């Protein structure tokens, strides 16, 4: 039986294939090791201090309207007065103050402990005032058609003209003297397209629409 000689180009071809395979494998491994997830831009990163005092990164990815508080135990004490609501719903939304019944133009939130009040969207602090009935008041303008009003506040942590991001703490809850002597309260109003609207419905609005 005769032995066959390999043609002259066979061995160089095999070597070339092996070299190409090794180079391709090395390139793919480099891609894997150097890959970085395209998550954040600087606006999406918020520094947070943990219990040990170390900086950690909190990435904000929400494109939704958030509530004006973060404490889960906060409850709605007096709802927004809906002119089209049932008699029972309208009665629950009345505020009795010094012998007069008034329709609630926002929502009164309360809790058993002090809580932080936060900006529901990015905006600019347009006004801060102290009212004899509504306590400390902060107004934030989010667009030409949207302003949110935070009332019954305790310690205010922002200044007029400040730019705030969604979720930034603007104040602590304060004392409500309008309906009772609740010490941890927030009365929240939403002024949108020229009228006061129900905040509980506002949270469900389209994020892109209200931030135009």
Q: Across-strand partners of 96?
A: 101
- The residues, any chain, with a CB within 8 Å of residue 56's CB and separated by 6 or more, are 47, 48, 49, 50
- Rounded to two decimals, the pTM is 0.70
Question: So what's the pLDDT on residue 141?
Answer: 98
Local confidence pLDDT in tens for the 212 residues of the chain: 555 555 555 566 666 666 656 666 665 555 555 544 443 444 444 555 555 555 544 444 458 999 999 999 999 999 999 999 999 999 999 988 888 899 999 999 999 999 999 999 999 999 999 998 899 999 999 999 999 999 999 999 999 999 999 999 999 999 988 777 678 999 999 999 999 999 999 999 999 999 88
Contact indicator for 149, 191 with CB cutoff of 8 Å: yes
Question: So what's the pLDDT on residue 45?
Answer: 46
Question: So what's the pLDDT on residue 185?
Answer: 95
Question: So what's the pLDDT on residue 54?
Answer: 53
Contact indicator for 174, 185 with CB cutoff of 8 Å: yes
Question: So what's the pLDDT on residue 122?
Answer: 96
Best CA proximity match to 183, nearest among 126, 113, 135: 113
DSSP assignment of 6-74 = PPTTHHHHHHHHHHHHHHHHHHHHHHHHH-------GGGEEEEE-TTS-EEEEE----SPPPSB--TT-
């Amino acid at each position: 039986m005769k032995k066959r000689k390999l043609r002259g180009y066979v061995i160089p071809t095999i070597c070339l294939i092996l070299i190409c395979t090794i180079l391709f494998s090395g390139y793919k491994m480099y891609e894997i090791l150097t890959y970085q997830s395209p998550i954040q831009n600087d606006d999406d990163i918020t520094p947070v201090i943990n219990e040990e005092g170390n900086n950690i990164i909190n990435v904000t990815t929400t494109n939704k309207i958030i509530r004006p508080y973060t404490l889960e135990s906060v409850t709605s004490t007096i709802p927004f007065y809906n002119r089209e609501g049932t008699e029972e719903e309208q009665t629950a939304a009345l505020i009795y103050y010094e012998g007069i019944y008034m329709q609630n133009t926002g929502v009164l939130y309360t809790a058993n402990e002090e809580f932080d009040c936060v900006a529901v969207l990015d905006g600019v602090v347009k006004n801060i005032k102290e009212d004899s009935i509504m306590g400390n008041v902060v107004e934030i303008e989010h667009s030409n058609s949207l302003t949110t009003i935070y009332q019954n506040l305790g310690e205010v942590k922002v200044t007029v003209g400040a730019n705030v991001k969604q979720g930034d703490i603007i104040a602590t809850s304060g004392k409500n003297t309008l309906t009772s002597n609740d010490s941890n309260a927030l009365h929240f109003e939403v002024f949108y397209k020229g009228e006061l609207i129900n905040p509980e419905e506002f949270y469900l609005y389209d994020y892109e629409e209200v931030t135009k």
